[in-house]
Amino acid sequence: RRQVLEASQQLTEIISSCLGSEPGAESPDPSPDTDPGAEEDPESHCLWVDKFTPRRYMELLSDDYTNRCLLKWLKLWDTVVFGKDKAVKKPKAGAAAQPPSGHAKEQPSKWKSKVQLTEEMLDAELDQHKRPKHKVALLCGPPGLGKTTLAHVIARHAGYNAVEMNASDDRSPEVFRTRIEAATQMRSVLGSHERPNCLIIDEIDGAPAASIQVLLGIIQRKDGEGEAGTGRRRREAGLLLRPIICV
């Protein structure tokens, strides 16, 4: 233990001498009027995971296929959120012009790959309220994979204001319901150009079963349900018109 302390003291002296020998390291004494804490760079106290976190879509290091699928799903909400028409996918001219050459190509394969299933799901028609068929996206994987960062970057890239809540913190189903409805139904009063919200629910696996049932009830809510009532019953009858990403 004594040897470790002596070695650490020697390293400290060496580092101090190296820093003191750098050009420009010695600066004149600051005037008593200036505050030394005010001139410090705020980024010097920032964690590396926050300082170097991706800010744009092209800076993401996660799986490119996952990034594109999540962005494509989020763009399906453009019709109901931004009033944009869904882009129609044009068929390939070469595929339609060439007839099938063999018997194997005439009968499609019984099993479909994950890519084919995902493309079919994302190319599905919108419902009667111009919403995508699947109202919630689920990102799963080991810790440190970048799931929450991906959700925030994709939401900003698609034109949304990312609103994050932690499902494991709100143990009460009523609080859970209130926070979801506040993020998905309330309109901004800060200005007409304020971005719409995209709700990101982190640690959804830590939420109690009652909160999951509340989330399912909001997703499966139908138009006009409970309009005859007043107060709380009528407030809960609003349709889900904003995307939700669960992590």
pLDDT band, very low/low/confident/very high, at 11 (cuts 50, 70, 90): confident
Q: What pLDDT, on the 0 to 100 scale, is given for residue 117?
A: 75
For 198, list phi and psi in degrees, rounded to 5: -125, 115
Q: What pLDDT, on the 0 to 100 scale, is given for residue 192?
A: 47
The 10 Å CB-count burial string (b at 16+, else e) for 85-100 is: eeeeeeeeeeeeeeee
User: What count of residues does the chain have?
Assistant: 247
More confident residue, 29 or 143: 143
For 143, list phi and psi in degrees, rounded to 5: -65, 145
pLDDT band, very low/low/confident/very high, at 212 (cuts 50, 70, 90): very high
182-190: long-range contacts at Cβ-Cβ below 8 A with a sequence spacing of 24 or more? 183/242, 184/218, 184/240, 184/241, 184/242, 184/244, 185/238, 185/241, 185/242
pLDDT band, very low/low/confident/very high, at 233 (cuts 50, 70, 90): very low
Give residues with Cβ within 8 angstroms of 59, minimum separation 6.
153
Q: What pLDDT, on the 0 to 100 scale, is given for residue 156?
A: 94
Cβ 74 vs Cβ 234: under 8 Å? no
Region 185-201: what's the mean pLDDT? 73
Which among 58, 82, 78 has a CA at the least distance from the CA of 68?
A: 58
Q: What pLDDT, on the 0 to 100 scale, is given for residue 84?
A: 77
Q: What pLDDT, on the 0 to 100 scale, is given for residue 87?
A: 61
Instruction: Report yes or no on whether pTM surpasses 0.95.
Output: no
pLDDT band, very low/low/confident/very high, at 104 (cuts 50, 70, 90): very low
Q: What is the pLDDT of residues 121-146, one digit of tens each?
A: 777 778 888 888 889 999 999 998 89
Domains of the chain as residue ranges with CATH = 53-83+114-246 (3.40.50.300)
